[in-house]
Amino acid sequence: MSYVALIPARMRSTRLPDKPLADIAGKPMIVRVAERVAQAGASRAVVATDDIRILEAVKAAGHEAIMTRADHPSGTDRLAEAADILQLPDDTIVINVQGDEPLIEPALLDDVAALLRDDQSLPMATACHPLTDPQDFFNPNVVKVVLDKNQRALYFSRAPISWARDAFAQSRNALPDDFLPLRHIGLYGYRAGFLRIYNQLAPSPLEHWESLEQLRVLWHGYAIGVHVAPHAPAPGVDTLEDLERVRALYA
């Protein structure tokens, strides 16, 4: 499959300083991410960073990296600049992989890219998986998504959606047997041309209240295709505890 994987990476992590260069079994985390992405079907994988130390570490390991500006308000803006630097044609499929996901499943990248390949009307795609734990369903830190019959996103929310009215009136300790809520997975695919459009879209009140940037796309009337994965992906690295867990798995 022909697509380009872009991996935005920056040093400014408050919970885990210098996170992209954190050692995992003898290699910086950003290099471990690049290695995982290289196992997917991407024709090209590029780290986009604003820090020369990240650039040098990635290139020293034999992977491609480019420098982008340091003043981007979001990772999507960094992707758009990277697409311009790389001179990607508007119809190029771009998969955004976070630089703190050293356990990312390569097949998941291919699945999200396939949505854009198979439906030329989609400007953007992402992924989700079924939720089975009621604690996760009611947790505002767990982002939920509701789909239409064509597996396009109707809405993303931190609220528990959709709402099983009669069942939850009886109890919220378990999810109904025939109820299948979906948890959003923060992996995104775009057409390069839409990345350039996205930069021009005004922020929406929905994204402000929910603190979910993808709601800007729905607010402006664009469709987001959603791949339903069978299970949850391995979590990324946000804290020192996360890092130690990943180190143990690599060891």
* pLDDT computed for residue 192 by the predictor: 96
Residue 61: CB atoms within 10 A of its CB come to: 15
Q: For the whole model, what pTM was predicted?
A: 0.93
Cβ pair 108, 115 in contact under 8 A: no
Q: In angstroms, rounded to a whole number, what is the distance separating the alpha carbons of residues 92 and 72?
A: 22
Cβ pair 45, 112 in contact under 8 A: no
* pLDDT computed for residue 251 by the predictor: 85
Q: In angstroms, rounded to a whole number, what is the distance separating the alpha carbons of residues 96 and 216?
A: 17
Mean pLDDT score, 33-40: 95
* pLDDT computed for residue 175 by the predictor: 93
pLDDT at 42 over 70: yes
| Residue 173 CB partners (closer than 8 Å, separation 6+) | 134
Our CA angle for 41, 43, 44, nearest 5°, is: 115
Task: Estimate the crossing angle of helix 240-250 against helix 29-38, to 10 degrees.
Answer: 50
- Each residue of 70-101: pLDDT tens digit? 887 777 888 999 999 999 999 999 999 999 99
* pLDDT computed for residue 241 by the predictor: 93
Mean pLDDT score, 210-230: 96
- Each residue of 109-142: pLDDT tens digit? 999 999 999 999 999 999 999 999 999 999 999 9
**pLDDT tier for residue 208 given thresholds of 50, 70 and 90:** very high
Picking from 7-11, 30-34, 37-41, 182-186, which range would have the lowest pLDDT averaged per residue? 7-11
Higher per-residue pLDDT: 248 or 1? 248
| Residue 40 amino acid letter | A
Question: How far is the CA of 63 from the CAs of 25, 33, 59, 97, 196, in angstroms?
Answer: 18, 11, 5, 15, 25
Residue 6: CB atoms within 10 A of its CB come to: 29
- Each residue of 161-176: pLDDT tens digit? 999 999 999 999 999 9
Annotated domain spans of the chain: 1-104, 120-184+194-233
Domains 1-104 and 120-184+194-233 share a fold: yes
Report the sign of the C-alpha dihedral through residues 78, 81, 86, 87, in that order.
positive
Q: For the chain, what percent of residues have pLDDT higher than 70?
A: 99
CATH code of the domain occupying 1-104? 3.90.550.10
Provide the token pair at 187.
Answer: 């992996």
The alpha helices in 98-179, defined as continuous H runs, are: 106-118, 134-137, 165-170
pLDDT at 229 over 80: yes
Q: In angstroms, rounded to a whole number, what is the distance separating the alpha carbons of residues 183 and 127?
A: 9
CATH code of the domain occupying 120-184+194-233? 3.90.550.10
* pLDDT computed for residue 1 by the predictor: 61
Mean pLDDT score, 152-163: 97
Instruction: Determine whether 229 is exposed, middle or buried from the number of CB atoms within 10 Å of its CB (0-12, 13-18, 19+).
Output: buried
**pLDDT tier for residue 11 given thresholds of 50, 70 and 90:** confident
* pLDDT computed for residue 47 by the predictor: 96
**Per-chain mean pLDDT for the chain:** 94
pLDDT at 248 over 70: yes
